[in-house]
Amino acid sequence: MKNISIIGSTGSIGTQTLDIINNDRDGFRVTSLAAGSNVKLMEEQVRRFSPLFVSMQSEEAASDLKVRIADTGTEVRCGAEGLDSVAADPKSDMLVTGIVGMQGIKPTMTAIREKKTIALANKETMVAAGSVITALARECGVKILPVDSEHSAIFQSLEGQSRKNVDKIILTASGGIFRGRSREELMNVTASEALKNPNWVMGKKVTIDSATLVNKGLEVMEASWLFGVSHRDIEVVVHPQSILHSAVLYTDGAIIGQMGLPDMHIPISYALYYPERMPVMGEKPDLAVLGSLTFEKPDTEVFRGLPLAMQAADAGGTMPAVFNAANEEAVSMFLNGKVGLLNIYDIIGYAMEKHRVVDDPDIDDIFEAEREARENAASWSAA
């Protein structure tokens, strides 16, 4: 029996994690949950999984939930403190970090200090604070298991292999919904056009990041920290079918890769059961039915997310946090109709240009860089 805490339990990763747990009630116990504002779904989760305590982002949401679940034994907490107490939950063995954005950094650090295994789905944690997080995990002897499908695939492709034989990592990308489009064609796309993603059901932020390839840039930086490989030894290959989830090229010319249907339950389940694998009852991939897997180089002229990310990773220090924070601001400006899709790159570039890198940053330097990047991003104008 594994005891599990989840931060971001009402989001995409959180709900899929609870799907898996729901199918194996003898294997897992949910000890605590944290979410943003979705009180209704949290009520359902409390009634189904009976965690010891839960936390909501705002006091209002927490008060509302308290009334709704007054008949249960589950305690309600709130705010950053509540979130942190879920991460520190003394009853849990593993923290699933399913929240989006840099708010995941502090609870992840808390959970590492408390020696919990981390099932990491919050890529911003590694992008912005990779040096701090990996050093802390090493110090505390804590395992970080990736939940992202790409990073799970890389992790699986490295199992049983010697790291010194790794030549490079091959990170696959669906190419996003605008693959093949020119810059001109992307000038006037709207948020609703950008929010249709072909292969994966994802949150809005991630869908835009996927369309701009900023997502792949973040994943390159995440993979670099997770697997101890230079970002320059990670090659992005566009693979629209999203079947080869990623791979590793070894020095002898062999590529080991992990394939599967595009279903986040698989990498989540892999992290939850690691090192075992849980049989799925659903459909299994059949290569003869899939028919064809195609691969192409990413168009980095149009989709500047990738070269900008490489530039941020080259600069190092606090720059990846700036890249990430400026992108978060820019995406929310795009979703609110304030800027165009391609302006996202301009905004990231502007914030990076304004930033003076702090080398070997501590966590306060990172948050300060983040704050400054958001400010600069917000002040960007097309003029």
- Rule CB under 8 A: which residues touch a copy of itself? 156-157, 159-162, 165, 167, 170, 237-239, 244, 247, 249-261, 263, 266, 269-270, 273, 275-280, 282-285, 287-288, 290-297
- Give 251 or 381: the residue with its C-beta nearer to a copy of itself: 251
The alpha-helical segments, DSSP class H, found in 104-201 are: 105-113, 123-140, 149-158, 183-186, 191-194
- Give 165 or 190: the residue with its C-beta nearer to a copy of itself: 165
Q: Nearest approach, Cβ of 29 to a copy of itself (angstroms)?
A: 21
Closest by alpha carbon to 209, among 82, 308, 354?
A: 308
- Give 88 or 278: the residue with its C-beta nearer to a copy of itself: 278
**Phi, psi (deg, nearest 5) at residue 110:** -60, -45
Is the four-CA dihedral 107, 113, 374, 209 of positive or negative sign?
Answer: negative
Q: Nearest approach, Cβ of 104 to a copy of itself (angstroms)?
A: 26
CA distance 128 to 318: 7
Tokens representing residue 364 in the block: 């306060």
DSSP 8-state class, residue 357: P
Q: Nearest approach, Cβ of 100 to a copy of itself (angstroms)?
A: 25
- Give 162 or 336: the residue with its C-beta nearer to a copy of itself: 162
- Give 84 or 263: the residue with its C-beta nearer to a copy of itself: 263
CA distance 32 to 6: 7
Q: Nearest approach, Cβ of 264 to a copy of itself (angstroms)?
A: 12
Alpha-carbon 238 to chain mean position: 19
CA distance 58 to 211: 31
- Give 151 or 355: the residue with its C-beta nearer to a copy of itself: 151
Q: Nearest approach, Cβ of 164 to a copy of itself (angstroms)?
A: 9
Q: Nearest approach, Cβ of 149 to a copy of itself (angstroms)?
A: 10
Q: Nearest approach, Cβ of 200 to a copy of itself (angstroms)?
A: 15
Question: Quick one: which H or E segment has residue 66?
Answer: helix 59-68
Contact 295, 205 (CB under 8 A): no
- Give 267 or 320: the residue with its C-beta nearer to a copy of itself: 267
DSSP 8-state class, residue 104: G
Q: Nearest approach, Cβ of 282 to a copy of itself (angstroms)?
A: 7
- Give 157 or 224: the residue with its C-beta nearer to a copy of itself: 157
Characterize 192-229 residue by residue with b for buried, 16 or more Cβ atoms within 10 angstroms of its Cβ, and e for exposed.
eebeebeeeebeebbbbbbbbbbbbbbbbbbbbbbbeb
- Give 262 or 349: the residue with its C-beta nearer to a copy of itself: 262
Q: Tokens 């989760």: give the residue.
A: 45
**Phi, psi (deg, nearest 5) at residue 14:** -60, -50
- Give 276 or 364: the residue with its C-beta nearer to a copy of itself: 276
DSSP 8-state class, residue 164: G
Q: Tokens 């990073």: give the residue.
A: 151
Pairing state between β 53-56 and 28-35:
parallel
Length of the chain: 383
Question: Quick one: which H or E segment has residue 321?
Answer: helix 319-335
Is the four-CA dihedral 295, 299, 303, 306 of positive or negative sign?
Answer: positive
Q: Nearest approach, Cβ of 125 to a copy of itself (angstroms)?
A: 24
Burial label, 128 (beta-carbon count in 10 A; 0-12, 13-18, 19+): buried
Q: Nearest approach, Cβ of 311 to a copy of itself (angstroms)?
A: 22
